[in-house]
A and B are shown apart, each in its own frame.
Chain A
Amino acid sequence: MSSSTIQVTDSSDLSGQSTSRLVLQMARRDIATLFRTPWIIISRSLAFIIQLFVFAYLISGLVVKFPGFFPYYAVGSVVSVVASISFIIGYDIFEEAEEGLLDYLLTLPIPRREFIIGRALGGAIRAMIYTIPMFAIVAVLENFSNPLSLLAAVLDLFLLAFGVTGLSITVAVSVRSANRFDVVLALLELAVSRASTALYPLAFMPSYVAALAPFSPVTFAADSTRAALSGSSLDILGLAGLLAFVAIFLGLGATFYFRRLEGGVYA
């Protein structure tokens, strides 16, 4: 998934560039990989369409204890897709490390902080580009038309994407074995999505899941997005949770673990 072709400006130019420009330069590289892998877009879109129009449509006919399950699931499935796609950046970085490309990237005259923020930003924007058409389908289906509500929902999704990319990068740089990395990231992805209110309401979860689900970043995003789209109120708690999630995994975690990359060995 990672690209072997890197567009890099001459190092003398880079040293004189502002922080935001360097961050954007790194982000642009990750966004560019999106358009080089159309198969991934096709498979993810197909999965979303089948999940929504086959699974959610048929299962909502069986769910009698929770009226309006289809709209609930539709919004949650978009949130779940954002989280799932944002995890891909970790696989990209791990693959780059395995192929030796990361060593090269680390020699570029870009400070580590800008590098990590740029990668996370690129991963998040990429996830949003993937998801916006799906979000549009749900918005049309459910008749969400208030521009402010839509904007607030997109902000929630972006914050989730930004935080998850930070988390994914943190895992990618802290787990050195390929098998262990695959397992950890896949389980993490499954756990944060399934143990959340994205796909089903908290009241119906078994008690052992209901105790954990309120702390999942996907729950923060799902609740906040639903609140924004329904136009009821601003979900301050959800928004605060998302911001904290972004701060922890992007600001602290990723930067701290990035230092461990230097001279490391991937097996």
Chain B
Amino acid sequence: MFANFCIDLFVTAATFGNLIGSSYFLRIAPGSNLITAMVAAFQSGRDIWREKYIKDLASYLLTLPISRKIFALSRITGGVARSVIATFPGTLVISYLYGILFSPRLIEAFVIVAVFSLGIVGLSIAVSAFASTIEVFATVRSAIQLYLSFLSTIFYDVSLFPAIVQPIVETNPMTWAMQAFSALQSQGSTFYPISVLVGPSLAFALLGAVCYLWYTRL
């Protein structure tokens, strides 16, 4: 994951920084980390899908003496933890670039990644509950990743999009995660972007939990 992040940041983002301007590199840098978080978060759904269809582990896991609700919650919490761990070095690199590595604001950077990952883990678990084949899972994952990556403000301002697309961009969780990182860079408050991001993330996490409960029903 870290190698992936490094290629994204030090190859692609650095080259676009040279093409557009050095400030552009700093602008898109958190995007590399959030994309890594997104990929790591989607692994949770893929694992649940593999447990059922490839490894045949789902029935065993459901015999464990844990209530379904706690089990669903633990899957989501585990997915978020895994995503935060996978992006840990990347978050440190971004924090270094933004000059907050040795400041208490470093915690805010991890909170942004965790809240963003929460929504994606929920979405990936919801998709895994309904995808009967890996192709369907991969296609839906790809569509969500395209939406999060290209219809957000990772690479460009919302004003560059046609007016009809702007509401889609403005409601994209990635846009708010990027805004929260921008606030870190400009030493502004991250409270507003994070509180906006919490809404869809909790909604997606709840959706994931409900779908997982449906998926594990007897």
Using a CB–CB cutoff of 8 Å, the interface residues on chain A facing chain B are 1, 37, 39-40, 42-44, 46-47, 50-51, 54-55, 58-59, 61-66, 69, 186-187, 190-191, 194-195, 199-200, 204-206, 208-209
Closest to A63 in B: B19
Q: B15 an interface residue at 8 Å Cβ cutoff?
A: yes
CA distance A190 to B18 in the complex (A): 20
Q: Given A50-B146, A54-B151, A186-B4, A206 and B11 touching (CB < 8 A)?
A: yes
Q: B96 an interface residue at 8 Å Cβ cutoff?
A: no
**Nearest chain A CB to B8's CB is how many angstroms away?**
8
CB–CB A39/B136 < 8 A: yes
Which of B79-87, B100-108, B137-145 is the contact stretch? B137-145
CB–CB B11/A47 < 8 A: no
Q: Given A43-B142, A59-B16, A206-B18, A190 and B4 touching (CB < 8 A)?
A: yes
Using a CB–CB cutoff of 8 Å, the interface residues on chain B facing chain A are 3-4, 7-8, 10-12, 14-16, 18-20, 24, 133-136, 138-139, 142-143, 146, 150-151, 155-156, 160-161
CB–CB B19/A37 < 8 A: no
- In the complex, how many residue pairs between chain A and chain B have their CB atoms under 8 Å apart? 84
**Nearest chain B CB to A99's CB is how many angstroms away?**
9
Which single member of B18, B20, B138 contacts A62 (CB below 8 Å)?
A: B20
CB–CB A47/B135 < 8 A: no
CA distance A54 to B14 in the complex (A): 21
Residues of B within 8 Å of A37, CB to CB, are 135
Closest 5 CB pairs of A and B: A43-B142, A43-B139, A39-B139, A39-B135, A204-B18
CB–CB B156/A194 < 8 A: no
Give the interface SS of chain B, mostly helix, strand, loop or mixed: helix
Q: Given A47-B146, A54-B151, A206 and B14 touching (CB < 8 A)?
A: yes
Residues of A within 8 Å of B143, CB to CB, are 43, 46
CB–CB B10/A190 < 8 A: no
Which single member of A43, A50, A66 contacts B150 (CB below 8 Å)?
A: A50
Which single member of B19, B133, B161 contacts A200 (CB below 8 Å)?
A: B19
**Nearest chain A CB to B6's CB is how many angstroms away?**
10
Residues of A within 8 Å of B135, CB to CB, are 1, 37, 39-40
CA distance A235 to B218 in the complex (A): 63
CA distance A62 to B129 in the complex (A): 41
CB–CB B150/A55 < 8 A: yes
CB–CB B3/A187 < 8 A: yes
CB–CB B19/A47 < 8 A: no
Residues of A within 8 Å of B134, CB to CB, are 1
Q: Given A40-B139, A42-B139, A63-B19, A194 and B7 touching (CB < 8 A)?
A: yes
Residues of B within 8 Å of A61, CB to CB, are 160
A-B pairs with beta carbons under 8 Å apart, 27 shown: A1-B134, A1-B135, A39-B138, A39-B139, A51-B150, A55-B155, A58-B160, A59-B16, A59-B20, A59-B156, A61-B160, A62-B156, A63-B20, A69-B19, A186-B4, A187-B3, A190-B7, A194-B7, A199-B12, A204-B15, A204-B19, A205-B14, A206-B14, A206-B15, A209-B10, A209-B14, A209-B15
Residues of A within 8 Å of B155, CB to CB, are 55, 58-59
Residues of A within 8 Å of B18, CB to CB, are 65, 204-206
CB–CB A194/B19 < 8 A: no
CA distance A4 to B190 in the complex (A): 52
